[in-house]
Structure 1
């Protein structure tokens, strides 16, 4: 089936990103590829395939449905870890499949222990502790109860990890808070160690913490946005920039290129309105190309009269309102454009580039939001 657009996902770019991250963290910490949010919009199946080619054998998801997608695509030797949502009713199946999961409350920990005992198969759990993010994790006051539950259920649990999550490591304004979280995590680690509970791995670092806080790299790092070629924030890049080489001042490479094609043409006279309403009025005669992508495909309405696409290597501005399924762009300065000609919405064409950040005013979340809003129906194609 043919589609109105496609996403090309670069294997070579991912390899470069992982090579750079490995050069920072050294050979020891396991790299877990975070594939939540449909692999940040890149496609879980596609990302798993690419990541395994680079030697990645650990994948982190938010939910059980994502974990099942990884399970369907990954090699038998790859580990899968659920960091968030699962239903207790599916614990038995997850345990049978060897899928790991966080335990961050007593109900889940108790259920996992009981089901493992019934099955005769150890549940592979990561104990998440609360250090200041205040979302999920066992509180310091619960440590004795958790300790006793772990002691009582040692035969039924495989303690794959002790973990936590940092509250905004990508921003300098949060760094005192992160330092306090690091101290609290060490308190938990020491408490369990002193009481004879050993974990296979300790892990806390997301992309930003991996880049900015070497002491958080521990036994495993959970690499999300950086693996896809984006700095967590511009501020993160500025803090890391001094340590980067002059020869390679921006070592992260974007994996994703979004392409479509010219659907039709339209010539309009000066004074004509374009599209719905009166959002654009031509000040001169113009030639337009109609592109079959709109807000239903993730090309937001906020790009009306602001967005740009690349055709023949040249920037062409969006004219009028972004519709559900189409946009109009000004090609008055171009010649020889034909039906079906390639249009780049994100990526390079010729000497020019359209970045994800250019889709809206820069904000801490624009990369994450834009990527994860790309509909899963758009085909993801792996390229070299």
Structure 2
């Protein structure tokens, strides 16, 4: 059975973006592909398959369920999977058994990881998260000595794969002092444990934004999410990069397109309301195309009377209130449209493009939010 809309992922764009990232990082920094939020809405299975084919071997996720999805998708013999957030105590044994790495940021998780590893007669692969100013998760720097002492006593069952922290808003210059203070604090922590560094494989701090704006934060590994999908974290970061490198266009390519088709065409008399309520009134005879996509498909209801779509290479307005499963588009001035015509909700058609940013401008949300709201049940199709 076919779905009413589908997502296309460009293999060429993935290759381009990963090549850009790897070139920027060089050979000494590990690129960890962050695929949380269903790979930012792109789909863990299809995206990780493409990233793996482009040479990526390290993947970061938010929770154990996402780690499980990556593990099912890729050959685990040469892939590293790292959980940055939630892993329940009941899931620790599975993670340890499968060599899944995970953050420890409080003593209970550290102790439970050690206990489960002892039962399995294996090592838990852990990353020590330090709180440097995000005020979310992580050991306070003053706790580190106690943590390291505990690990040293249990090295047969605890293997430190890294030490890390998370920057609080590197995408905005307004956070400059906060971010640089975090950077200094983390550097101080690394110096403090310098004589114990052999037990720590990698230090990591940078996100996509920090990788661009604060290159000194790259350290041994970077956790890059949004860049690999063809988006700079913010317009500010894009301008920063273009100015620094004297470029006029982004070197990244958008991986994702979202498409559907016209399900019906009808003509509405002048003086009528279209769809639910009274949000759109026809001042003249209006030809509308009915599109089988609504807010249950991830097309935000706030785009009512604001959204745009592409049909036959031209841009048309969404009119009336967006319903759960359909919406109307004004095609009165189209030269020719037919039932079954392709409709582009995000992506290119001919010389025109509907960008994710255009959604943001209309309804004031960020790229990350819109992408991750795309339903998991939409088919993801890989294109060349």
TM-score normalized by the length of structure 1: 0.97
Cα shift at 1:244? 3.1
Distance 1:198 1:364, change over 3 A: farther
- Which position in structure 1 is the counterpart of 2:368? 368
Report deviation, 1:335.
3.0
1:330-375 Cα shifts (integer Å, max 9, x gaps): 1111133221110000000011100011113279851001000001
1:60 is matched with 60
* Match in the other structure for 1:305: 305
Aligned to 1:223: 224
SS for the counterpart of 1:6 is strand
Cα distance in 2, alignment partners of residues 131 and 362 from structure 1: 35
Sort the Cα spacing of 1:363 and 1:332 in 2 relative to 1 into closer, same or farther, 3 A: closer
Matches within 5 A, 1:120-135: 120-135=121-136
Task: Tell me, in whole angstroms, the C-alpha distance in 1 between the residues paired with 2:148 and 2:100.
Answer: 23
Q: Which of 367-376 and 237-246 deviates more? A: 237-246
1:21 is matched with 21
Mapped contact 2:9–2:42 kept (Cα < 8 A) = yes
Gaps of 5+ in 2: none
Distance (Å, rounded) in 1 between the aligned partners of 2:227 and 2:30: 15
Deviations 1:37-65 (A, max 9, x none): 00000000011101001100010000000
User: What corresponds to 2:41 in structure 1?
Assistant: 41
2: CA distance, partners of 1:364 / 1:94: 38
Matches of 1:206 and 1:60, distance apart in 2 = 11
Deviation string, structure 1 residues 17-53 (Cα, Å, up to 9, x no partner): 1111222222211111101000000000011101001
| TM norm structure 2 | 0.97
What residue is the counterpart of 2:286 in the other structure?
A: 286
Q: Residue in 2 aligned with 1:145?
A: 146
Corresponding residue of 1:240: 241
Aligned to 1:379: 379
Q: Residues 1-384 of structure 1 correspond to what in structure 2 (within 5 A)?
A: 1-76=1-76, 77-195=78-196, 198-246=199-247, 249-361=249-361, 366-384=366-384
| 1:7 shift after superposition | 0.2
Alignment RMSD (CA, Å): 1.4
Say whether the 8 Å CA contact 1:232–1:364 is kept in structure 2.
no
Runs of 5+ unmatched residues, structure 1: none
Do the aligned partners of residues 92 and 295 (structure 1) sit closer, same or farther apart at CA in structure 2, a change above 3 Å counting? same
Figure out how many residues of one structure are paired with residues of the other and give that number. Answer: 383
Contact 2:307 2:362 in 1 (8 A): no
